[in-house]
Amino acid sequence: MTNLLLLPILIPLLTAIALMLLHKRIEMQRIVSVLSLIGTVIATSILLAKVKTDGIQTLNLGSWEAPYGITLVSDMLSVLLVLTATVITLFVIMFSFHSIGRDRETFYYYPIVQFLLVGINGAFTTGDIFNLFVFFEVMLMSSYVLLVLGGTKIQLRESIKYILVNIISSALFVIAVGFLYSVVGTLNMAQISERIAESNQPGIITVIAMLFLVVFGLKGAIFPLYFWLPGSYYAPPAPILALFGALLTKVGVYSILRTYSLFFYHETGFTHSVLMILSLLTIIVGVIGAIAYWDLKKIIIYNVIVAVGVILFGVSVNSSTSIEGSIFYVLHDMVIKAALFLLIGIMIKITGTSNLKQMRGLIKQFPLLAWTFFIAALSLAGIPPLSGFIGKLLIVQGGFEEGNYIGAGIILLSSLLVLYSVMKIFMNGFFGKPTEYKADHIPVGKLLIPSIALVTVAVLYGFNAELIYPYISDATETIVNPDMYIEAVLRGE
């Protein structure tokens, strides 16, 4: 059973290798991809039940005891993120069957998605700071290929910027890890935490914390390091955009949450204050972009930036309530962003444009698409009792409890503006003078199935909050009590 930790990484890895050998057999690639992802979901669900029953699970690769070997760690936060990422990837792959195109499918689309999942699941699971860098690189190399797959002019242009930013970010990551190792003498994340606690976080550690914030801030797209994201995410087609928007920025957010709760929690006056200011500026910039643009992709992309700010505000407040809200919200946001990107992908496919001013009256021909988008939009904005409400409420409550009324107020105001931005799509795209769209060649029904499935997951997540709450509570407990993580990894308790 201990090898369960390895399965969410190993299954996609072996699948990716197998799919590369089947690159000319598209139908077989589709079947293998879906079966592999279903297997990964099952394995992760079993792991989730084991973590719930027995607590944090660890696996020392090569039987080298921690902190000397490479350790995989599944606490409740890690396994919830792995499960969510895998479920999203499964539905995006199903959407891809009828939207990504044979040309991209032939050029290793399915194996690259599996490699992307290896990097994402590995980043969520590793207990070694250098291997977090390694899994980041696996994820980024896969994203480079997905970004240029198809070779359109905009993809090639934006990929240059995306690659340059991430090369700089990766170089800074290695420098930050090197500095941290020179101070604490270990790469094991639990032992790093222990040694920083023993030294009571001297000034050099605070400097390293800021360097990590720059590194992960570039990955997660916080202000002012978000500049690369709107253009880069705009370039690829809807399924790839859904994977990027739902998963990639969340790995950066997770890394900030993990390091700032496990390493840099002793002297929070400076580090968390900077994080709070940047998170609020991220929300403001994201909201401005979301309400200013009339392009479907840009509106939802800027809403990705808003969500990053909301989650990190909860992390910066650093109370049990706000952390709980951030964890609740990050899982919601991953699912609902994937759903929204797929839904606008269908709208763009039908109308042939992403310009909101050039589409109208879609509800007449596609009522199911319209009302699915409406539910997703309400969930994104945090309208009760949908999934976005609970996480945002807890973050705001945490802000009020800690006396941060301005930050909590900005989040409340941002919810109204986020609602306006997505209702703008709903009112302008689906209503107005009907236009007859020739969509006979577009399998709208087949594209809607995975999209509706993701919206259903989001709705169930909100309506079953009481059932899910114990899992969120366990995840929060590990974050606010880092000793639990340290004991599980170093002493096997």
- Residue 307 has a pLDDT of 92
Structure tokens at 364: 């007449």
Instruction: Report d(CA 213, CA 217) in Å as an integer.
Output: 5
Domain limits for position 297: 4-491
Closest by CA to 287, choosing from 417, 419, 425, 391, is 417
Q: Residue 338 and residue 235: Cα distance in Å, rounded? A: 16
Select from 249, 431, 247, 452 the least CA-distant residue to 356. 431
Rounded distance between C-alpha atoms, residue 323 and residue 76, angstroms: 13
Residue whose C-alpha is closest to residue 424's, from 455, 380, 390: 380
One-letter amino acid at 314 equals: G
Collapsing DSSP to helix, strand or coil, 99 comes out as coil
Is the Cβ–Cβ distance between 206 and 170 less than 8 Å?
A: no
At 257, which amino acid appears?
A: L
In whole angstroms, what is the distance from residue 407 CA to residue 417 CA? 15
| pLDDT for the residue 492 | 62
pLDDT tens for the 493 residues of the chain, in order: 557 888 999 999 999 999 988 877 888 999 999 999 999 999 999 999 999 998 888 888 877 777 777 888 999 999 999 999 999 999 999 999 888 888 888 888 899 999 999 999 999 999 889 999 999 999 999 999 898 887 788 888 888 888 888 899 899 999 999 999 998 888 888 888 888 888 777 788 888 889 999 999 988 889 888 888 888 888 888 899 999 999 998 999 999 999 988 888 877 778 888 999 999 999 999 999 999 999 889 999 999 999 999 999 999 988 889 999 999 999 999 999 999 999 999 998 888 888 888 888 888 888 899 999 999 999 988 888 888 888 889 999 998 988 888 999 999 999 999 999 999 999 888 887 777 777 667 888 889 999 999 999 999 988 888 899 999 999 999 998 888 888 888 876 4
Q: φ, ψ for residue 437 (rounded to 5)?
A: -105, 130
Q: What per-residue confidence (pLDDT) applies to 433?
A: 76
**Cis status of the peptide bond prior to 67, with omega within 30 of 0:** yes
Q: How many domains does the chain have?
A: 1
Check: pTM over 0.85? Answer yes or no.
yes
